[in-house]
Amino acid sequence: MIRKKLTPRQKMINLMYVVLMAMLALNVSSDVLDGFSLVDEGLNRTKLNSASQNEMVYKELEGAMKQNPEKTRQWYEKAQKVRKMSDDLYNLAEELKMEIVRDADGSGADLNDIKGKDNLEAATHVMLASGVGRGAELKKAIEAYREGITSMINDENQKKIIKENLSTSVPKKAALQGKNWQEYLFENTPVAAAVTLLSKLQTDVRHAEGEMLHQLVANIDVKDVRVNQINAYVIPNAQTVVRGGRFSAQIIMAAVDTTQRPEIYVGNTLLKSSNGRYETVCSSTGEFTLRGYLLMKNADGETIRREFSQPYTVVEPSATVSATMMNMLYAGYQNPISVSVPGVPNNKISLSMTNGTLTKKDAGNYVAVPTTVGTDVTFTVMAENEGRQQEMGKFTFHVRKLPDPTGYLLTTDSKGNASRFKGGRISKQAVISAGGIGAAIDDGLLDISFRVVGFETLFLDAMGNVMPEVSQGANFSQNQLNRIRSLSRGKLFNISHIRVVGPDGIERTLTTPVEVIIN
């Protein structure tokens, strides 16, 4: 038995998953949700193919067990353990899909005909509802399966692939927002997207199961497992191809005689290739099928013919551009930008923009500085495809002015930890030690410092009259410090009319004062 090269298929699965996540990143309409159904259908075909191939291996192991139980038993028993582990996680994902669709469509729900594809509550309720949500259960099951499978695999490369496919880690941005894995995937996720995510998990399970089975078979003499059948297989590099790219596939016999090679016919034309590789330039989009047959003589000299067919899809060029830290670009500010194109290495991608300057940091990462507030920025993505530059898409972002920062006193506690005091009770010594005023946007996502160019303090005398003192910089003036030193406990003063300049070069006066009460 020849071990399948699963890397090309896995590349196709990863490509489909990237497309899915790109669609999730957008605020899509109900019409676009139909695209998830197309992705889900592709995943379902892949997992059915994987299940069929895995079943063939199980049958071969059963045959080997009958022929030589002493030699095969330990590998056969491990295979049964792998089957149960894989079926348990696969069935859990199938059960969750049905629960989500039933929550959206009612008791008559049908996974093959989802009515509420755009329902944003069903997945959240099933997976995240307090006390009954099953997201944590799924995460625990994935982690247990991942550890169980990878502990039995010796190939470090395959082990790494399976760990990545079945990862339950949370991206840094989601972690900063306090989200766990199940919230990141299923919170406010449309039904169509949630079902597709679970189908992707099922595909990864069948892939991991197949990798484990091939390793088990490799531990048995191949001659003991091989059956008296000859089948044709097509192994594509990818089933989805960008228009202008190449569709490439390996066409082989599952059981071959090293003393002779089969004749390969694509359509009715003999393939003149010593290694069985077929390639064609994909000049138009759509669904296509590679069909043909193999001819080979058996031991009796009879010619055996085996048909083969392999569907593949040619799509328009596509790309994804996302603002790394925010959904809106800010004028005059260095906005981090990342860009990727499914199936194209980052070093083959270039990016340009309007209304601003763009600086490349490394492959796939840029810094964009828009110029004019209110004028949209358009990014154009180019990629090297078959030795030429091809436009992969244009993406538009709105540009706004940086929001106003908040004024603060920079204080230090007894342990030397710095903190930003934005109003309330504070000791007189802490105010004097601060020395002056700072300002920054500090909302948990952005941390952008502004330069203070002046401010005013307002004190009340014994008669209740307001006594303003002005500083022409970020530090307290001597008069201001004298006023602060004269304040008794419980007295207050305001820091107002704080004038600042941000990284965009715009001077602004903050409308919100900092109220200080001497403690």
Say if CB 250 and CB 274 are below 8 A apart: no
Same fold, 320-400 and 406-518: yes
Q: Packing angle between helix 135-150 and helix 156-165, nearest 10 degrees?
A: 180
For residue 334 the two structure tokens come to 């260095």
Alpha-carbon distances of 436 from 195, 453, 459, rounded to whole Å? 56, 11, 16
CATH dotted code for 320-400: 2.60.40.60
Q: Give the per-residue pLDDT at 347.
A: 85
Q: What is the DSSP string of 224-288?
A: HH--S---EEEEES-SEEETTSEEEEEEEESS--TT---EEEETTEE---TT-EEEEE--S-EEE
Q: What is the DSSP string of 142-180?
A: HHHHHHHHHTT---HHHHHHHHHHT-----HHHHHTT--
How many Å apart are CA 478 and CA 342, to the nearest integer? 62
- Which residue, among 120, 85, 88, 114, has the nearest Cα to 101 in the 3D structure? 114
Low-confidence stretches of the chain (pLDDT < 50) are 1-5, 25-27, 222-228
How many Å apart are CA 427 and CA 518, to the nearest integer? 6
Look-up: residue for tokens 């600086």? 359
Helix (H, G, I), strand (E, B) or coil at 500: strand
How many Å apart are CA 421 and CA 138, to the nearest integer? 43
CATH dotted code for 406-518: 2.60.40
Say if CB 501 and CB 453 are below 8 A apart: yes
Alpha-carbon distances of 256 from 229, 297, 473, rounded to whole Å? 10, 11, 84
List phi, psi (to 5°) of 283: -100, -10
For the stretch 253-285, what's the b/e string if a residue is b when 16 or more beta carbons lie within 10 angstroms of its beta carbon? bbeeeeeeebebbbeeeeeeeeebebeeebeee
How many Å apart are CA 507 and CA 104, to the nearest integer? 51
Helix (H, G, I), strand (E, B) or coil at 133: coil
How many Å apart are CA 512 and CA 455, to the nearest integer? 12
Extents of the domains making up the chain: 7-227, 229-316, 320-400, 406-518
Q: Give the per-residue pLDDT at 226.
A: 36
How many Å apart are CA 381 and CA 396, to the nearest integer? 12
Cβ contacts of residue 290 below 8 Å, gap of 6+?
234, 236, 247, 249, 266, 278, 308, 309, 310, 311, 312
Kindly state the DSSP code that residue 85 receives in the 8-state scheme. H
Half-sphere exposure (Cβ direction) of 195: Cα atoms closer than 13 Å? 35
CATH dotted code for 229-316: 2.60.40.1930
374: amino acid identity, one letter? G
For residue 367 the two structure tokens come to 């810094």
- Which residue, among 290, 304, 303, 298, has the nearest Cα to 250 in the 3D structure? 290
CB atoms within 10 A of CB 421: 18
What is the Rg, in whole angstroms, of the alpha carbon atoms belonging to the chain? 32
- Sheet hosting strand 377-385, strand order edge to edge: 349-353, 377-385, 388-397
14: amino acid identity, one letter? N
For the stretch 56-65, what's the b/e string if a residue is b when 16 or more beta carbons lie within 10 angstroms of its beta carbon? bbbebbeebb
Q: Give the per-residue pLDDT at 424.
A: 94
